[in-house]
């Protein structure tokens, strides 16, 4: 009789332990999924920032080129007037 109770208790403990292990595995998988999502978001944000910086650089370069062209044009006009 006592043997049966001990076996039942052992079986319950085994079931509880297996359930806890399964729960921990599930939690770890979810944590990994969350980390993957965060990593992807950071990568995407970094790409967006790099793209925005590239646009700013291009705009600055074109502004300098326009100023240079205007300066050359004005210098040519002054040279023709003199």
Q: pTM, whole model, 2 decimals?
A: 0.60
d(CA 21, CA 31): 15
Q: For residue 48, what pLDDT is reported? A: 97
How far is residue 30's CA from residue 24's CA, in Å, rounded to a whole number?
A: 10
Q: What is the pLDDT of residue 81?
A: 82
> In whole angstroms, what is the distance from residue 22 CA to residue 33 CA?
17
Q: What is the pLDDT along the chain (82 residues), one digit of tens a residue?
A: 888 888 899 999 999 999 999 999 999 999 999 999 999 999 999 999 999 999 999 999 999 999 999 999 999 998 888 7
- Give, for 45, the enclosing helix (H) or strand (E): helix 2-81
């Amino acid at each position: 009789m006592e043997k049966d109770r001990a076996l039942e208790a052992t079986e319950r403990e085994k079931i509880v332990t297996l359930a806890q292990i399964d729960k921990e595995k599930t939690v770890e998988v979810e944590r990994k999924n969350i980390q993957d999502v965060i990593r992807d978001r950071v990568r995407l944000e970094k790409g967006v920032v790099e793209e925005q910086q590239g646009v700013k650089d291009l705009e600055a370069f074109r502004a300098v080129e326009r100023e240079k062209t205007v300066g050359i044009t004005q210098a040519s006009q002054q040279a023709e007037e003199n």
